[in-house]
Amino acid sequence: MTDTTLPRWTRDQMAARVAQDIADGSVVNLGIGLPTLIANHLPEGREVILQSENGIIGMGPAPAAGEEDFDLTNAGKQPVTLLPGGSYFHHADSFAMMRGGHLDICVLGAFQVSAHGDLANWHTGAEGAIPAVGGAMDLAIGAKRTFVMMEHLTKAGESKLVESCTYPLTGLACVSRVYTDLAVIDVGPRGAVVVDMAEGLGFDQLQAVTAIPLAR
């Protein structure tokens, strides 16, 4: 089971930690789920442009209650707003922005990430599960940098950082950095390197719950 005694970041602290690494002027796509929290934590004075796969650049926050317009929704189909300077476009242009490398950063949730940056985040492959991929595969390989934001461990306490993904892959060697509730870890050709850890967490404690060798 999950070791609840380890010092860890809350979801909002995780989101704030990712936000810290998003430079002023970046064009960013935030995936459905945990990554959407990041928008609430972008530091004051940093201008970041959010892209949404369904055809928005310059996406703003959710509208006030009663102001919802379901002709203006995000990738999760929830109502959003458009910021001054923002605009709309069709789906082929939206995915050209991704595939064409025009987004600086994409942040995705994940089931598993390998030491080399392989990503599994769309399908458990379980018997009877209905597969649904959406824009995950395009997002994973498109942005200049792909970040993952996920819990470090599954509910059963297993490491989500793995030697090689056992769930169906979303993309090969596409993730460059992983933000978990325990640590920030770079992945890639050189393996996994710890960049940052939750306050009070020791490197040995982190390694003990991580299924791949970590370097400092």
Partner 1 sequence: MIDKIVESAAAAVADVRDGATVMIGGFGTAGLPDELIAALLDQGARDLVVVNNNAGNGDTGLAALLGAGRVRKIICSFPRQVDSWHFDRLYREGKIELELVPQGNLAERIRAAGAGIGAFFTPTGYGTILAEGKETREIGGRMQVLEYAIHADVALIKAERGDRWGNLTYRKTVRNFGPIMAMAATCTIATVHEVVELGALDPEAVVTQGLFVQRVVPIVRTATRGAGFKAA
Question: Footprint of partner 1 on this chain (CB under 8 A)?
Answer: 52-56, 68-73, 76-79, 82, 88-92, 94-95, 98-99, 128, 130-138, 141-142, 168-172
Nearest CB to partner 1, comparing residues 168 and 191: 168
Q: 147 has which bridge partners? A: 107, 177
What is the maximal distance between C-alpha atoms in the chain?
A: 51
For 44, 99, 136, 206, the CA distances from 12, given in Å and listed in that order, are: 16, 29, 23, 20
Q: What is the DSSP string of 151-170?
A: -SB-TTS-BSEESS--SPPS
CB of 106 to partner 1, least distance (A): 12
CB of 2 to partner 1, least distance (A): 24
Nearest CB to partner 1, comparing residues 22 and 120: 120
Nearest CB to partner 1, comparing residues 86 and 207: 86
CB of 204 to partner 1, least distance (A): 34
The angle formed by the CA atoms of residues 112, 14 and 111, to the nearest 5 degrees, is 15
Contact, 143 vs 191, CB < 8 A? no
CB of 112 to partner 1, least distance (A): 14
Nearest CB to partner 1, comparing residues 167 and 193: 167
Q: Which residues participate in catalysis according to the annotation? A: 53
Strands 27-30, 49-52: pairing is parallel
- Give the separation between CA 107 and CA 35, rounded to whole angstroms: 6
